[in-house]
Amino acid sequence: MKVYKFGGASIADAGRMAALLPIISEEQEPLLIVISAMGKTTNALERIVQCAVNKEYPEAYKLGNELKQQHLEYAEKLLVADNYAQTKGAMEVLFVEFDEAIKKADSKRFDYSYDQIVCMGELFSSCILHGYLAQNNLSTTWVDVRKVLITDNTYRDAVVDWNWSALQAEATIGRELKKKKIVVTQGFIGATAAGDSVTLGREGSDYTAAVLAAMLHMDSVTIWKDVDGFRNADPKLFPGTVKINAISYAEVIEMAFYGAQIIHPKTIKPLHNNNIPLYVKCFLDKKLSGSVIKADAGDVHYPPMIVLKDKQVLVQVTTRDFSFITEDNLSKLYSIFHDLKVKINLIQNAAISFVACIDNRDDKVTPLIQALSKDYKVTINEQVSLLTVRHFNLAVVEDLTKYHTILLRQETRKTLQVVMK
């Protein structure tokens, strides 16, 4: 059995969703569908969160109502009278929850409030897809994934309780699949044991598909995208990219970790650990061959794989008393990053200094600098980019860096990374 994951672009409008029908109905076996929010819904929900926590209620409800209306109009374009009424009924239950979440939003519990509101996008879109498949005589069940993926309470980046969730997955989704149903559920969201909604990190629907595939021992995951497969660099940023037909988990996890946008970095681990292949296919033309990500096929020769991550900050930490950056200081520094949950993209240390490249997130950078400044001298370079090239050759690197100032360069046998301005 397969998992199909459809991202926001694949359901950006009603026409797009309708075009998925042949892809879904062609599949002979029961299917698990994991879906994102439509188009840019998550961004719209984030704006509502901002208004709601600032207690700007008229604006929050205005934006909220617009979003509800958009979803209802979308559903109306696809569904005939009875099906529309049924879907609308299901959505109205969610609308009540949505309004309630706006009302209760609190800046003192920002991440919690964020998740109660932002989780709505996937719930809405999955309701509509479920209604549409049912209307087309496909035997379909809608599952609220918040009853399946049980997590801790790290709001906005929740950690799945694997054992508990696996049992839930079997009892809900697994049971429906055994009845030969198509199960439609949401990516990106889950809930705590207490039943509060959580999200798994932006663009986290890929991860949901992988987690559920692993828990339910599925044969494969297919991510349907608007591109023809996996490429050696982002074609929006670099000319002359090449498609890669088959690529190993190890290669993709490196690229995703350093910022390749194609797949959420957390997606690969559950697939690798259960040896489940991941297909990247194009929803605009299902006949295109796409790419597969799977166990290492031996001595594959890869072209230079390029990832450019913008919006980085280079943080340089120096001891004030000229003490060395050895075990004691390193341990202290790592604990500060760990306690503030700041992910380090690149690290280097010298005698009395330590340099880390991190994402430029205001909510992370400011507290980090405050914490580090207590015991160290801290200097930062903002607006830098992290360029990673795997399987590099020097001509490619020269070409990519020629108009930039290089602040830091690190090289291993396979990978070259530079932080540049």
Which of Mg ion, ligand ASP, none lies near 121, with the C-beta cut-off 5 to 8 A by kind? ligand ASP
Contact pattern for ligand ASP over residues 106 through 135, marking x by CB under 6 A:
---------------x--------------
Number of residues written out for the chain: 421
SS3 annotation, the chain: CEEEEECHHHHCCHHHHHHCHHHHHCCCCCEEEEECCCCCHHHHHHHHHHHHHCCCHHHHHHHHHHHHHHHHHHHHHHCCHHHHHHHHHHHHHHHHHHHHHHHHCCHHHHHHHHHHHHCHHHHHHHHHHHHHHHHCCCCEEECCHHHCCEECCCCCCCCECHHHHHHHHHHHHHHHHHCCCEEEEECCEEEECCCCEEECCCCCHHHHHHHHHHHCCCCEEEEEECCCCEECCCCCCCCCCCEECEEEHHHHHHHHHCCCCCCCHHHHHHHHHCCCCEEEEECCCCCCCCEEEECCCCCCCCCCEEEEEEEEEEEEEEECCCCCCCHHHHHHHHHHHHHCCCCEEEEEECCCEEEEEEECCHHHHHHHHHHHHCCEEEEEEEEEEEEEEECCCHHHHHHHHCCCCEEEEEECCCEEEEEEC
Stretch that binds ligand ASP, among 9-17, 202-210, 229-237, 245-253 (CB under 6 A): 202-210
Shortest Å distance, C-beta 67 to Mg ion: 15
Instruction: For Mg ion, give the closer residue by CB, 135 or 205.
Output: 205
Q: How far apart are CA 381 and CA 289, in angstroms?
A: 43
Among 74, 132, 155, 188, binds ligand ASP (CB under 6 A): 188
Which of ligand ASP, Mg ion, none lies near 345, with the C-beta cut-off 5 to 8 A by kind? none
Among 8, 30, 174, 190, binds Mg ion (CB under 5 A): 8
Shortest Å distance, C-beta 55 to Mg ion: 28
Instruction: For Mg ion, give the closer residue by CB, 115 or 176.
Output: 115
Question: Residue 187, interface with ligand ASP (CB under 6 A)?
Answer: yes
Please provide the distance, in angstroms rounded to a whole number, between the alpha carbons at the two ends of the chain.
47
Shortest Å distance, C-beta 392 to ligand ASP: 30
Among 168, 205, 248, 388, binds ligand ASP (CB under 6 A): 205
Size of the site for ligand ASP (CB under 6 A): 12
Shortest Å distance, C-beta 203 to ligand ASP: 4
Question: Residue 203, interface with ligand ASP (CB under 6 A)?
Answer: yes
Among 10, 36, 140, 192, binds ligand ASP (CB under 6 A): 36
Shortest Å distance, C-beta 99 to ligand ASP: 20
Stretch that binds ligand ASP, among 36-44, 170-178, 215-223, 322-330 (CB under 6 A): 36-44
Interface with Mg ion in residues 24-53 (CB under 5 A): 36
Instruction: For Mg ion, give the closer residue by CB, 42 or 248.
Output: 42
Question: Residue 8, interface with ligand ASP (CB under 6 A)?
Answer: yes
Stretch that binds ligand ASP, among 13-21, 34-42, 291-299, 319-327 (CB under 6 A): 34-42
Instruction: For Mg ion, give the closer residue by CB, 120 or 365.
Output: 120
Q: Which residues bind ligand ASP (CB under 6 A)?
A: 7-8, 36-37, 42, 121, 187-188, 202-205
